[in-house]
Homo-oligomer: A and B are copies of this chain.
């Protein structure tokens, strides 16, 4: 078979090219790549030299076609939120891409169509474009998990299954955010605060209730009262600020623990307006260690989620799930840390 050597955009070398150069068959080259220990030492060396010389890399499409595995992982991303401090995705995505590269996977992004949130999953699944999904918004009622399960599509979740745990047959990784709120609250108690207010999300947010429980646990453990000190609002700066107004006027707290950096910024806005100095007159903590928390004067104390660790665990779970035989381990719960800055 004579190949045209002088081709303009030089077609990448194939298995057959390497085989010819090394003087072996295609299959032997394939083994050299996938099962090196099947070859005799000298043959292996010869093949590897040929691979090196030609700069050969297996064609992904051909390999996927044959092995029915694309080594791609689908990740759905939500629109960037404006006017909030919730920008976890940047850090998370980077960690995920980095970790999955080491495991031989790439991350394929997609977005949802407003009318049909499952369409993106369906497309990728039916065209066998990805091997698995990572889902992130596991709030109650998110149809993705159930739908993927019914389709027998492999997926791992960042976020525990809030529904009946017994139904959840997928691996998950989550962060113990009750512990995060508790960490922040105890920190404030240590600083001598006794009237510590909570600003969290509305009651239908299980994650919000979870975080709130960390605050109330820390308070009760220290014998401090919580009545009149909790507020539950939308996750916006304006509502955080409104909650601050109400709490300051009615309960006179000396510190605020917030369920998000966004809400904490609401507090800072009101303090700014009143001429109160955060960290001196009133203490504030946020949640997520966003860039906002890191850069706002004088620096917002915030709970930091170990996203890099989460990525590692997610990829580990993914490898188990896609292994042969598939292995589904128990859920993994990670501990957040507190980054102390000048607002406390």
A126 adjacent to B55 (CB under 8 Å): yes
User: What is the chain B residue whose CB lies nearest that of A68?
Assistant: B61
B contact residues around A127 at 8 Å (CB): 57-60
Given A77-B93, A128-B12, A292-B292, residue A87 in contact with residue B84 (CB < 8 A): no
**Chain B: minimal CB distance from A146 (Å):** 9
Mask for A67-96, Cβ within 8 A of B = 1, else 0?
A: 000101000011110111111011101100
Mask for A273-291, Cβ within 8 A of B = 1, else 0?
A: 1000000000000000011
- The reply to whether the CB of A150 lies closer than 8 angstroms to some CB of chain B is yes
Mask for A122-147, Cβ within 8 A of B = 1, else 0?
A: 01001111000000000000000000
**Chain B: minimal CB distance from A53 (Å):** 14
Assembly CA distance A92 to B110 (angstroms): 13
B85 adjacent to A87 (CB under 8 Å): no
Residue from the list B56, B59, B79, B271 in contact with A65, Cβ < 8 A: B59
A61 adjacent to B58 (CB under 8 Å): no
A296 adjacent to B292 (CB under 8 Å): yes
The stretch from A173-181, A192-200, A262-270 touching chain B is A262-270
- The reply to whether the CB of A106 lies closer than 8 angstroms to some CB of chain B is yes
Mask for A235-278, Cβ within 8 A of B = 1, else 0?
A: 00100000000000000000000000010010011011100000
**Chain B: minimal CB distance from A143 (Å):** 12
User: What is the chain B residue whose CB lies nearest that of A107?
Assistant: B109
B contact residues around A291 at 8 Å (CB): 82-87, 290-292
- The reply to whether the CB of A111 lies closer than 8 angstroms to some CB of chain B is yes
**Contact residues, A162-205 vs B (CB, 8 A):** none
Given A127-B59, A127-B60, A129-B60, residue A94 in contact with residue B79 (CB < 8 A): yes
- The reply to whether the CB of A38 lies closer than 8 angstroms to some CB of chain B is no
A126 adjacent to B80 (CB under 8 Å): no
Assembly CA distance A77 to B129 (angstroms): 22
Assembly CA distance A98 to B114 (angstroms): 12
B contact residues around A265 at 8 Å (CB): 295-297
B contact residues around A3 at 8 Å (CB): 150
User: What is the chain B residue whose CB lies nearest that of A62?
Assistant: B65
B57 adjacent to A126 (CB under 8 Å): yes
Assembly CA distance A143 to B301 (angstroms): 40
- The reply to whether the CB of A23 lies closer than 8 angstroms to some CB of chain B is no
Given A126-B57, A127-B57, A129-B106, residue A269 in contact with residue B292 (CB < 8 A): no
Chain A residues proximal to chain B, CB less than 8 Å: 3, 5, 9-10, 12, 55-62, 64-65, 70, 72, 77-80, 82-87, 89-91, 93-94, 97-98, 101, 106-111, 123, 126-129, 150, 152, 237, 262, 265, 268-269, 271-273, 290-292, 294-298
| 9 interchain pairs, CB-CB under 8 A | A12-B128, A56-B126, A59-B127, A77-B93, A84-B295, A108-B108, A265-B296, A273-B297, A290-B291
